[in-house]
Structure 1
């Protein structure tokens, strides 16, 4: 089960590092123009905050367990990212675009839930 957890966490970490850095490094208007229309409903600071949470959550999925320093933080990070993905799915549902643009958020949300359950089970 530990191997499955590592594979899931690596996939999630890569996804959230990329997504988080994109939100941190690009202006909100640039995100909207590139097809992420959801960002239009949030302030610039909120989009940056979401990006920072995703980036830090990605680090939390890997570093505590890899360094064997407070490994309980790994499933806690997965749980926090699950909450972020619930917000993302809710935003897409509210905007009526779950079938078109919300599938990635839904998939990442399910993977974060799997990571959290497996992480707490292997402590």
Structure 2
């Protein structure tokens, strides 16, 4: 179970570090081809906040369990990222952006798996 957690958490962390880092460092113009909502529907301050949450969640999945310091924070990070993706799924569905909802669903399932694995190996 521990290996399964590290595989799921590692993949999620890599994804969220990239996605969150992109939201943190790129301009509205650079984000527009990938995320038409960035800076229009959601102000750039909100986009940056989402990016920061994603990066913090990625770190939270890995660092507490790796160091053994407050490993329960990994559970909290997995729950937070899962909730974030549930909200993102609803947001994209409400905008009619259904062709890419599969990614949100995969991330919800992976996040819920990380929660379960983190609790099972705690």
**Runs in 1 of length 4+ with deviation above 3 angstroms?**
none
Deviation at 1:14, TM superposition (A): 0.2
Unaligned stretches of 5+ residues in structure 1 = none
- What is the DSSP-based 3-state SS (H/G/I as helix, E as strand, rest coil) of the residue aligned with 1:37? coil
Unaligned stretches of 5+ residues in structure 2 = none
- CA RMSD, Structure 1 to Structure 2 (Å): 1.0
With normalisation by structure 1, the TM-score equals: 0.93
Aligned residues: 121
In 2 relative to 1, CA 38–103 (structure 1 residues): closer, same or farther, beyond 3 Å?
A: farther
CA contact under 8 A between 1:38 and 1:92: conserved in structure 2?
A: no
Partner of 1:53: 53
Deviations 1:80-107 (A, max 9, x none): 0011101110111101112x12221221
Partner of 1:35: 34
- What is the DSSP-based 3-state SS (H/G/I as helix, E as strand, rest coil) of the residue aligned with 1:35? coil
1: CA distance between counterparts of 2:100 and 2:14? Answer: 19
With normalisation by structure 2, the TM-score equals: 0.94
2: CA distance between counterparts of 1:3 and 1:13? Answer: 15
